Each structure stands twice: as C-alpha cells, then as structure tokens.
Amino acid sequence: MHRILATAALALMSTSALAQPAPSGAATAPQVTYIHAAHLLDQPGKAPRGPSTIVVTDGKVSEVRDGTLPAPAGAKVVELGDRFVLPGLTDLHVHLFADGDPMKARLEATTRDREDAAFIAAEHAKETVEAGFTTVRDLGGPPRGIRALRDAVERGDVEGPTIVNAGEMISVSGGHGDNNGVNEESFDAFHPHDYNNVCNGADDCRRAVREQIRLGAQVIKFAATGGVLSNVAGGLGQQMTSEEMKAVIDTAHSFGRKVAAHSHAAAGTSAAVAQGVDSIEHGTFLDDATVKAMVAHGTWLVPTMMAPVAALAQARAGALPPASIAKAEQAAAAMKASHKLAIRSGVKIAFGTDTGVSRHGLNAQEFALMVEAGMTPMQAIVAATTGAADLLGRSDSVGRIAPGMPADIIAVSGDPLTDVSRLEHVDFVMKRGHVVKTAP
C-alpha cells in the first residue's frame, strides 16, 4: 500500500512539474497567415471588394485590407490568384448520421452498431466542410452521437464543420418523428429508450424538450406535420396540437434554445408561427395568410428545396416505403410555387438542404434552386452566410470575414454573383485558420 501511495505521489509531482507555466521568454509566437484575394465578398449583402489581403492570426481574422500586401517574415502566405473569396457557408438543415441512400440504410440497419454510424457521420462531416460549409445545424440524429461528433470537431480530432445540434426531433406518438412502420422487435431495437423524444400533451412535450437538452441539444426541432420519409400514410397535415407546440417552444426558449419546426401543411406552419417558432423547415404548402403571418412574426423559412427532388427520385425508384410515394409527389409538386410566394412576399430566407435525404457534399446545389425560385445570387449567398448567422444567433462568429471573427473562408473559380452554381465547386476551404482544402 505504501509503495502504491508513493508511486501515486511521484506521479502527481511529475504532473505538477509538467504543468508549470513556461518562462515568459518562451511564449509561442502567433501563427499568422496572409491570404491574397483578387475578389473578396467579406460582408455578404454589400458590394464585393477588389484585390484584398486577409490577415489571419491564431485562427481569427485580424485585418482585412485593400491591395495585395507583402507578408512579414515568418508569416504563411496563401495565394488564391484570380479566385473569388467569401465567408464559409452555413447549411441550417443537415442530418450527418443519415446516408442520403435510404435503400442502403434499410439493408444495412440490422448490421450496424451505433459505433459504425459514428464513423460514417464523421466522414459525412469531412465531405461537408470540404464542400465549403464550415457551419451546419444538424436537425435530427442520435443525440449522444451528434453531441460527441460536435465536440470532436470542436477539439480538432475530426475534420468537419462547426455543428449546432438538435438531437432527436420531438414528435407525437405515431407522428413523423416516431419510429413507425416497423415490427415489434424492430421498434425496440431501432428506437433506443434513452432518446425520449416522443410526447403526447403539453406537459409531456415539455419533458421531451428537457430530455433533448439533457442529452446536449443546442437547438430544438419538432414535427408540426407529417413528413415525406416517415412510413405513415396519413399525409402531410398537422400532427402536433397548438398547445403541444407552445409547450415545446416556450420550454426551449426558457433554456435559451431556438426552435425549428418541420412543417409541410399550411395549417401546421400557421400554428407553429403563431406560437413563436424561430424557423419553419420545408414550408412546402404555403398560402397568402401563412406567409403574411411569417412576415409579421419575423419567422424564418429554411426551404430545403433539394429534399423533395431527392425524395421523389428515391420514391419512384422504389427506395422508399409505399406510404412515402404519394407524399413525395405532393411535396415536389407544391414546393416551387410555395417558395416563390414566400420570397416574393418578403419572408426571411435562410439556407438549408436537408442533406442526408440527398448525398452529403452536394449541399451547394441548393443555390441554383433558390435562384430559380426568385432570389438573386447575392440573396442566396446572404441566406447561407449573414442570414444563417442571424437565425443561429451567432452573427459574432459566423457568416462574415471581419476582424475578430473566426477565419472561416472559402474560394471558388469565377464569380458566384453572376453564376451561383460556381459555389458547387469550392477550390479552397479554411476553417478557423486551418486549411482544410487547398486550391489546385
């Protein structure tokens, strides 16, 4: 026993010695990088700048200056030639634990453990940041898994975007976020009880929100209506009552969390807006009254235009359950007109794709659909930068290239303000001062 205590004491003394601060003269020099850009959109929504120099010090932007300035001795230099430089993009609706291939996911569901899913999600995170999306909001996945991935990215153990996570979507029994359409054995196997996301009645829905926050959720998502991918033939109408929505929203807000509502039918959207939801995800069936309410309440719309297109293709290919086919047809048919109405009416639009329904790394294909629906390329870029930052409540750290901001920076060939599809091919990505992808 004495030998064990002596060994422990020695270990503690060694640790203490290692923990002593280094002499002041041995302080680590700051890591400085000079980025030379021919075209710079540092503040989306404002006119781009000409030749500019971005100075990055220890992962943050320290200066943005006109002209191509020479770098001091010891500084790294990134020459981006004639490329167009802009802030890292934000996707406000992804599912990093989903494959984008429902048939494959169903076939492999019985052979995958949670640990398998974690490694797959990490690869999806890498694909996402390499596509130029340096921040994402993950709106549905295993709560402990997405929290662990979020923290691993934050520590620098895993390459990926900054993740704002929701955990599991709050749902009523039998609703879009419940585990439905499977046999008795599979229900228990595929729906771990520690998720606790299903609720019925206002008090139970308050409990469900607190459970997700306990598991690490930074934002709360709930299903106001039915969904395309759930194996329930009940359509896309309202599923959660107004009283249940209010309980979810008020509880989340009391914990400082913003709330996103999965919603297709106008009735569900109107009810969520009336109860103070922060964003509507999808908004597939909008009408004049609902759009006016969204404008009046300042509610954001995250259109996810890629999702109905992907879901319809999967349904027609037989990759989705039969209950999903009619819903996919309806959603795809209504989406474009609804989103055009919202854009034309002045609803605040933020960028999101529902990636995980579609394949990861293709997020930027959403831009062309937004422009087709009536947005200018600049408006679409704002939706994925400063607009997204506003909805997240992170305007001090996301969406701009400015002194004091984390150095999340991307570059593309050509002018995305003329051709927004240029954002589908990102040549250079820097995440918090670390180069993730180098321009060829």
Whether the pLDDT of residue 401 is over 80: the answer is: yes
Whether the pLDDT of residue 67 is over 60: the answer is: yes
Domain annotation covers residue 412 = yes
The confidence score (pLDDT) of residue 259 equals 98
Q: What is the pLDDT of residues 351-399, one digit of tens each?
A: 999 999 889 999 999 999 999 999 999 999 999 999 999 999 999 999 9
Query: What CATH number should be reported for the domain holding residue 30?
Result: 2.30.40.10
145 lies in the same domain as 93: yes
Domain annotation covers residue 14 = no
The confidence score (pLDDT) of residue 226 equals 74
Is residue 317 very low, low, confident or very high in pLDDT (cuts 50, 70, 90)?
A: low
Is residue 440 very low, low, confident or very high in pLDDT (cuts 50, 70, 90)?
A: confident
Q: Which of 150, 42, 137, 159 is nearest to 90 (CA)?
A: 137
Maximum average pLDDT range among 25-29, 95-99, 294-298, 335-339: 294-298
Query: What CATH number should be reported for the domain holding residue 359?
Result: 3.20.20.140
* Region 79-101 average pLDDT: 93
The confidence score (pLDDT) of residue 327 equals 66
150 lies in the same domain as 76: no
Mean pLDDT is lowest, of 5-19, 237-251, 267-281, 409-423, for 5-19
Domain annotation covers residue 348 = yes
Mean pLDDT is lowest, of 3-17, 53-67, 296-310, for 3-17
* Region 314-341 average pLDDT: 74
* Region 303-308 average pLDDT: 88
And the tokens for 319?
Answer: 């990759």
* Region 270-284 average pLDDT: 97
326 CA to centre of own chain: 28
121 lies in the same domain as 244: yes
Quote the Cα angle for 434-384-138, to 5°. 75
Whether the pLDDT of residue 18 is over 60: the answer is: no
Whether the pLDDT of residue 178 is over 80: the answer is: no
Surface-to-core class of residue 193, CB atoms within 10 Å of its CB (0-12 exposed, 13-18 middle, 19+ buried): exposed
Domain annotation covers residue 2 = no
424 lies in the same domain as 325: no
109 lies in the same domain as 140: yes
* Region 82-95 average pLDDT: 98
110 lies in the same domain as 178: yes
Q: How many domains is the chain partitioned into structurally?
A: 2
79 lies in the same domain as 102: no
Domain annotation covers residue 49 = yes
Q: Read out DSSP for 270-321?
A: HHHHHTT-SEEEE--S--HHHHHHHHHHT-EEE--THHHHHHHHHHHTT-S-
Residue-averaged pLDDT of the chain: 87
The confidence score (pLDDT) of residue 182 equals 55
Percentage with pLDDT > 70 across the chain: 80
Is residue 180 very low, low, confident or very high in pLDDT (cuts 50, 70, 90)?
A: low
Domain annotation covers residue 163 = yes
Name the more confident of 60 and 238.
Answer: 60
The confidence score (pLDDT) of residue 102 equals 57
Name the more confident of 21 and 293.
Answer: 293
Domain annotation covers residue 1 = no
219 lies in the same domain as 141: yes
CB 413 within 8 A of CB 403: no
* Region 154-183 average pLDDT: 84
380 lies in the same domain as 417: no
Percentage with pLDDT > 90 across the chain: 71
Is residue 19 very low, low, confident or very high in pLDDT (cuts 50, 70, 90)?
A: very low
Is residue 57 very low, low, confident or very high in pLDDT (cuts 50, 70, 90)?
A: very high
Q: Which of 375, 373, 394 is nearest to 385 (CA)?
A: 394
The confidence score (pLDDT) of residue 291 equals 97
And the tokens for 64?
Answer: 């943005």
Domain annotation covers residue 8 = no
Mean pLDDT is lowest, of 14-28, 51-65, 270-284, 371-385, for 14-28
78 lies in the same domain as 97: no
Q: Which of 214, 209, 353, 342 is nearest to 286 (CA)?
A: 342
Kindly tell me the sign of the dihedral angle through the C-alpha atoms of 331, 334, 338, 339.
Answer: positive
* Region 410-427 average pLDDT: 98
Name the more confident of 225 and 209.
Answer: 209
Q: What is the pLDDT of residues 102-128, one digit of tens each?
A: 555 555 666 677 788 899 999 999 999
Query: pTM for this structure?
Result: 0.88
Residue 270's domain comprises 89-392
261 lies in the same domain as 184: yes
259 lies in the same domain as 303: yes
